[in-house]
Amino acid sequence: MASGDVEDRTILEDSEKPAFSNESFVYRTFKNTVSGTVGGVAVCLVGHPFDTLKVRLQTQPVDRPVYKGLSDCFFKTLKWEGIGGLYKGVGSPLVGQMFFRATLFSSYYQITTFFAGEDHSQRLTVPQYFLSGSLTGVVAALVEGPIDLFKSKMQVQIIRAQAGEPMKYRNVFHAAYVIAQNHGIRGCYQGLSATWLRNIPANGCFFGFYEIARTLQTPEGGTVKDVSPLGLLVSGGCGGFFYWFLTYPTDVIKSSMQADDSVKSKRKFKGITDCARKLYYEQGGITRFYKGFTPCLMRSIPANAAMFFVVETMRKYFPL
């Protein structure tokens, strides 16, 4: 392959105009919303058990840990709660992921369309894809923040129950109701600043590396729409892997702040800096920021591979 061809592929340009070039804003939004919704179901069903283990390992007390490690957390969850324990709090993510992924992909494709300008056939540069993903992370956090909060409150209940605390929430929807009733909309956005801290760079990596991988697997003479199903799975897994691999410590901060007391005056962490400092100095140094890292990476590849595959496959079935 000539060096000029390599350069063209590096900046992610396609010569063939894609089918969406003449789509209206409303139709494009509808297509991406439906595709994202179905993708949200896929990522939740595949990834939630790993997420439960991740959050429990992230948030358990360091001085009196309930779990010795990943396998211990897995088997204790099965012993105490059965298979349903791995899907603790799944109600919020399942419903929420449908809405969240619809928002995520609709926002992302609208942002990339904006950068492309009138010529929708123009593929963006690598930096533009990373920037599009980062801007998507800003919007997505407004939906994802409450979803993660309610889920986290449910997932860490079992840890506190082992210390003798009563269960506060019957299910994830009850958690949402109680928090909203007692603390209002601000209570539902507990840890929002930390969610942005994670989401902005993480989603930049998520979509940026996905687009790079998808382009590298584009058949010669074709477009990204011609990438094989296996290529889509690999690209999605690549995006998911780098989302977590490069930004995981920020997720630990987010989870810790969301798992903190809903009553502001009783919270252990006063903000992002205070949370990071206390986690580092009081709970194990740098290793504290990698609690739950293994199940997270185990989840990231299959869950996001499935999601991107479903989303891109769904988008192909929409006629002009």
> What per-residue string of b and e applies to 272-306 under the rule 16 or more CB within 10 Å gives b?
beebbeebeeeeeeeebbebbbbbbbbbbbbbbbb
Secondary structure of residue 52 in the 3-state scheme: helix
pLDDT digit string (tens) for the chain, length 320 residues:
454 444 444 444 443 444 444 567 788 888 888 999 898 888 888 888 888 888 788 778 777 788 888 889 889 888 888 888 888 767 766 777 788 888 999 999 999 999 988 776 678 999 999 999 999 999 999 999 998 898 888 878 777 777 677 788 888 889 899 999 999 999 999 999 999 999 999 999 999 999 999 999 999 888 888 999 999 999 999 999 999 999 999 999 999 999 898 998 999 999 999 999 999 998 779 999 998 888 888 888 999 999 999 999 998 888 65
Residue 184: exposed, middle, or buried by beta-carbon count in 10 A (0-12, 13-18, 19+)?
Answer: exposed
Task: Yes or no: say if 207 and 201 are a contact pair by the CB < 8 Å rule.
Answer: no
d(CA 269, CA 276): 9
